[in-house]
Amino acid sequence: MSRSGRVADRRAAVLGSPVAHSLSPRLHRAAYEWLGLSWTYDAIDVATAELPQFLAALGPEWVGLSLTMPLKEAVLSLLDEVEPAALLTRAVNTVVVESGRLLGFNTDIDGLVDVLRRHDVRAGSSSVVLGGGATARSAVAALARVGVGPVTALVRNPAAGDELVALGADLGVDVAARDWLPDGRALGGILAAAEVVVSTVPPGGADPLAAHLLVGRTTTSLLVDVVYDPWPTPLARAWQRAGGNVAGGRELLVGQAVEQVRLMTGEPVPTDVLWAALTD
């Protein structure tokens, strides 16, 4: 049901700390303009400790929030209702305000599914996920939704690896957790053998891999790197030099924002509208 016709002036925002670099305002404002809405969307610096007070102070003008880490996990206990996928992954990147209630969603899964499908990733493809946090859990959920598997998760924290294995079992996809080895050459071999690699680590986290990645090898596989600033990452450049295909964080950002806009406004917006906002 459309929510856009009921009130002319509404508010939404992306929260995080830091958050000034976020491209979400450009995307959502472009969507509102296309929909003919005089809504506002801002970037607001909110730390984890400040989140409960911020949510409690939301007025009737608010329609929704986008969340960056670490708020994606911290918000879970503060919501009135959380969709099953967000509960399963313990990650909420979208809060919809509806009749005074706070509803949590994970549109990162939708965004990554969109990226995988647009790059023609086939069901049954082998994959590797780099990292063990909230975005890695969303990546496993997206890979499972597309039918990709088995999945190898490279993690530094054994407990995070155990959680990804359990999540895979819940979703019907085989996940094996392995240590993020200090030997870059060994990791390069693991990555080269996969048909899809999803790097969920923050900027700089995968940089040490680039020096050894695919040394002496070529690949036609797909790398999805969730980082969008700075871009391209050293990992993405190394992957392209080896002949592989690369999807950057902007593709994921647009895909998840399309679903965020739909949830907050009740109206669909073409992907091209949001892409144009990033190239203006």
Query: Which runs of consecutive H residues, i.e. helices, occur in 41-106?
Result: 51-56, 71-74, 84-89
Q: Is 72 in the active site? A: yes
pLDDT digits (tens, 9 = 90+) for 96-151: 999 999 999 999 999 999 999 999 999 999 999 999 999 999 999 999 999 999 99
pTM of the model: 0.93
Measured CA to CA, the distance from residue 164 to residue 155 in angstroms comes to 10
Instruction: Note whether 45 and 17 are within 8 A (CB).
Output: yes
Question: Which amino acid makes up residue 182?
Answer: P
- What is the pLDDT at residue 11? 97
Q: Do 11-105+256-279 and 109-247 share a fold?
A: yes
Structure tokens that stand for 82 in this block: 């959380």
- Residues of the chain whose pLDDT is less than 70? 1-8, 182-186, 213-218, 280
- What is the pLDDT at residue 33? 97
DSSP strands (E only) in the chain = 11-16, 40-45, 62-67, 81-82, 94-98, 101-105, 127-130, 151-155, 175-179, 196-199, 222-225, 245-247
Instruction: Note whether 266 and 3 are within 8 A (CB).
Output: yes
Please report, for residues 39, 143, 156, 192, the alpha-carbon distance to residue 239 in angstroms, rounded to integers and kept in the order given: 40, 20, 22, 10
Helices (H) and strands (E) in the chain, counts: 12, 12
Instruction: Note whether 7 and 39 are within 8 A (CB).
Output: no
Q: CATH for 109-247?
A: 3.40.50.720
| Cα 205–chain centre separation | 16
Could you name the CATH architecture of 11-105+256-279?
A: 3-Layer(aba) Sandwich (3.40)
So where are the chain's domains? Answer: 11-105+256-279, 109-247
The residue annotated as part of the active site, out of 28, 72, 137, 250, is 72
Please report, for residues 68, 109, 202, 206, the alpha-carbon distance to residue 87 in angstroms, rounded to integers and kept in the order given: 17, 12, 23, 28
